[in-house]
Structure 1
Amino acid sequence: MEFKNIDEQIIQKYKEDETLMVRLFVQWCANHDLNPQLLYQKAYPEQSTNEVLKEVIDSDEGFDELHIDNETMLDVLQMFGNEDLAFVVAEEIQRLK
């Protein structure tokens, strides 16, 4: 019984962290006038709509004036294993320079 509770806590924590990562990505895109859905689709063309991404965009609970620097964005994406999205973001960073 106790193990199930720990497993549930781990899953919940991961979901919260994933949502934070997506919020940072959406805010980074907003900082650079980029469409997060288009970038995500470019990184993962075989995937259908990412529900967490859609929920974050629809919730409009952005960080208003939070500026996420490029290195932090890349680090966060890589930390979550989103190498394909990190690659697309890195391409955009180069294009923006």
Structure 2
Amino acid sequence: MEFKNIDEQIIQKYREDETLMIRLFVQWCANHQLNPEVLYKKAYPDQLSNEALKEVIESDDGFEELFIDNEMMLDVLQMFGNEDLAFVVADETARISRRG
């Protein structure tokens, strides 16, 4: 019984951390006037949609004043094993820096 409670706590903590990662990604996109759903689709073209991403976009709870550094965004995505999205973000970062 105790193990089940610990497992549930671990799962809940991961979900909270994943939501934070998504919020940071959405904010990073906002900082650079990019559409997070478009970038997500580039990274995962076979996935129909990401409900957690939609929920974060719709909730828009005041992160707009936070600037997310490019390197931090890449680190967070890689920490979660989100390599495909990190690759797309890295491409966008390079494109943004070329724009000046």
> TM-score higher than 0.5 here?
yes
Q: Report the CA distance between 1:62 and its aligned residue.
A: 3.7
**CA distance in 2 between partners of 1:43 and 1:91 (Å):** 11
Shift of 1:61: 1.2
Aligned residue pairs total 97
Partners in 2 of 1:52 and 1:92 — Cα distance?
22
Q: Is the 8 A contact 1:23 1:62 kept in 2?
A: no
Residue 90 of structure 1 corresponds to: 90
Mapped partners of 2:62, 2:36: distance in 1: 13
- Relative to the length of structure 1, the TM-score reads 0.98
* Superposition pairs of residues 4-43 of structure 1, within 5 angstroms: 4-43=4-43
User: Per the alignment, do residues 62 and 43 of structure 1 end up closer, same or farther by CA in structure 2, a change over 3 Å counting?
Assistant: farther
Sequence identity percentage: 79
**Is residue 62 of structure 2 the alignment partner of residue 45 of structure 1?**
no
After the TM superposition, which parts of structure 1 deviate over 4 Å for at least 4 consecutive aligned residues?
A: none
Q: TM-score, normalised by structure 2?
A: 0.95
Gaps of 5+ in 1: none
Contact 1:78 1:86 survives alignment (8 Å): yes
Structure 2 CA distance, aligned partners of 1:64 and 1:70? 16
